[in-house]
């Protein structure tokens, strides 16, 4: 048996980590490996929120990639205590607990919370309305973490980090109901196999270099642009008052990082590609956000890139003259390429630099803002949330050759009435890594699979409430 410890990270994701430096106590566990669990949090974007309290009942792990029908779960720890996720930012973690479990590869990690003892509290002390989307039939709600790579727990133990992405998990007014909606975004990883990215975000738009507080830092994999809403987001972070950020517990590899301050539409986002992360190291990466238009005339849209059906979002346009100076009270015309997907409210002033967009049905629309011959576009995805009843991979079987272009697999999620569910996406995994190669995909709707060696393998797609679909792949 191995001792596994679990930590909770609050920042971009929820991370479960297993500590590999455990030494057996000869009078204690008789050589059984221990598992430790840590909790961490992704940066939370709302300055008006005092705390995000999650009451963790238990943490479990499964060696099986297919957890349909309950699965075979092993309890790591049962802390039965509350954690304020806002205290766990910039790479900080909280010790959740530890326990013994057999050494091996674990393909699934889940955290069960008690929604009756969890809450979001405003700065004035009042509790916010939260739709937990709990369909378990009790106060206990299981949340499934993305395990993109199997968590290895050796006999000497390990530390699993569960990274809970608060900013992407608690969606405010997503359906136009003035409440937070839980759409959990968690990932689990062995901390011994990770590094981090840290730095400072600044801008010289005032003529002097100043730190940019509350800037969004998005770490993407498998993308050269990291542009929403289609980017493969691995983790997110946010700068503090001094402009510093730290995105921790990233696997060794190459990433693309996007920096932006959506509250400042006069600043353009900045993307840096080919960022290398190595195990046990911190990659230094700072950014200076450029002024929109780079000194010339411009119009630049900023605001959210997704909204729920029935929800509303605010978009802003900054306009600059030929010298790059801000044009105040500029007349801006807003249009949506598909008003059946999302449309501007009739009360929105069409010559205003701010506009309110309402989601009508699931889909994607292109927003255009125009002023004085200048135009800018912004892609918005309208998503449907709900309990996933089925996950189907299309195609559900395929044959590929070693060295060819492989096959793209699409995951289709539907509720019990057959309605399409588009957010969050699924996590793709395969236990058959000697036969199959799978492209990076955090939480997405599809993934590509290639053949590594002749044989057969299975690809699993798991929804955020644990529903699993599978596809059989034959490699020649």
List the chain pLDDT tens, one digit each, 476 residues. 555 566 655 443 333 333 222 223 333 344 445 555 555 544 345 578 899 999 999 999 888 765 555 668 888 889 999 999 888 877 778 888 888 777 777 878 889 999 999 999 999 999 999 989 888 889 999 988 877 667 777 666 778 888 888 878 888 877 777 888 888 888 888 888 899 999 999 999 888 999 999 898 999 886 567 877 667 788 888 899 999 999 999 988 899 999 999 888 889 899 999 999 999 999 999 999 998 887 789 999 988 888 888 888 889 899 999 888 888 888 999 999 999 999 998 755 556 888 999 999 888 899 999 998 999 999 988 887 777 889 999 999 999 999 888 898 988 888 877 777 776 678 788 888 889 988 765 555 678 899 999 999 999 888 877 788 999 999 99
CA torsion, ordered 259, 188, 446, 305, to nearest 10 deg? -30
What size, in residues, is the chain?
476
The alpha carbon of 468 is separated from its chain's Cα centroid by a whole number of angstroms, namely 19
Domains of the chain, CATH where assigned: 2-191 (no CATH), 294-385 (2.60.40.1080), 386-476 (2.60.40.1080)
The CA distance from 454 to 189, in Å, is 29
Q: Is 62 left (phi over 0), alpha (psi -120 to 50) or beta?
A: beta
Task: Identify how many contiguous H helices and E strands the chain contains and give both numbers.
Answer: 1, 43
- The pLDDT of residue 172 is 81
How far apart CA 66 and CA 142 sit, in angstroms, is: 16
pLDDT at 103: 76
Q: In angstroms, how far apart are the furthest CA atoms of the chain? A: 78
Structure tokens at 242: 């001094």
């Amino acid at each position: 048996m191995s001792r596994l410890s679990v930590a909770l990270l609050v920042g971009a994701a929820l991370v479960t980590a297993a500590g590999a430096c455990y030494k057996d106590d000869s009078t204690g566990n008789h050589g059984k490996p221990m598992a430790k669990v840590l909790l961490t949090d992704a940066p939370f974007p709302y300055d008006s929120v005092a705390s995000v309290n999650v009451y963790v009942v238990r943490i479990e792990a499964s060696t099986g990639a297919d957890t349909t029908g309950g699965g075979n779960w092993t309890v790591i720890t049962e802390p039965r205590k509350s954690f304020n996720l806002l205290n766990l930012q910039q790479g900080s973690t909280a010790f959740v607990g530890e326990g013994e479990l057999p050494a091996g590869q674990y393909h699934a990690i889940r955290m069960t919370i008690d929604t009756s003892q969890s809450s979001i509290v405003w700065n004035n002390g009042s509790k916010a309305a939260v739709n937990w989307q709990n369909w378990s039939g009790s106060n206990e709600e299981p949340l499934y973490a993305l395990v993109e790579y199997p968590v290895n727990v050796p006999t000497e133990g390990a530390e699993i980090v569960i990274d809970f992405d608060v900013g992407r998990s608690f969606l405010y007014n997503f359906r136009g109901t003035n409440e937070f909606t839980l759409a959990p975004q968690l990932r689990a990883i062995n901390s011994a196999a990770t590094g981090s990215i840290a730095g400072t975000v600044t801008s010289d738009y005032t003529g002097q270099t100043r730190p940019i507080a509350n800037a969004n830092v998005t770490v993407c994999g498998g993308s050269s642009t990291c542009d929403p809403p289609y980017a493969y987001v691995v983790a997110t972070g946010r700068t503090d008052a001094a402009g510093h950020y730290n995105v921790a517990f990233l696997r060794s590899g190459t990433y693309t990082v996007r920096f932006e301050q959506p509250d400042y539409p006069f600043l353009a986002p900045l993307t840096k590609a080919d960022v290398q992360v190595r195990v046990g190291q911190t990659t230094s990466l700072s950014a200076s956000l450029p002024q929109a238009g780079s000194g010339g005339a411009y119009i630049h849209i900023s605001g959210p890139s997704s909204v729920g059906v029935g929800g509303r979002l605010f978009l802003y346009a900054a306009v600059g003259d030929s010298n790059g100076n801000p044009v105040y009270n500029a007349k801006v015309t807003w249009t949506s390429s598909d008003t059946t997907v999302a449309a501007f409210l009739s009360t929105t002033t069409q010559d205003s630099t701010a506009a309110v967009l309402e989601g009508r049905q699931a889909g994607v629309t292109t927003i255009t803002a125009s002023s004085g011959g200048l135009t800018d576009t912004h892609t918005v995805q309208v998503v449907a949330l709900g309990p996933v009843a089925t996950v189907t991979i299309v195609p559900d079987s395929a044959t590929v050759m070693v060295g060819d272009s492989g096959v793209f697999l699409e995951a289709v999620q539907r509720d019990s009435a057959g309605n399409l569910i588009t957010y969050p996406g699924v996590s793709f995994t395969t236990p058959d890594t000697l036969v199959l190669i799978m492209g990076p995909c955090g939480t997405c709707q599809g993934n590509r699979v290639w053949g590594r060696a002749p044989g057969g393998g299975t690809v699993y797609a798991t929804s955020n409430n644990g529903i699993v679909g599978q596809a059989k792949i034959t490699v020649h």
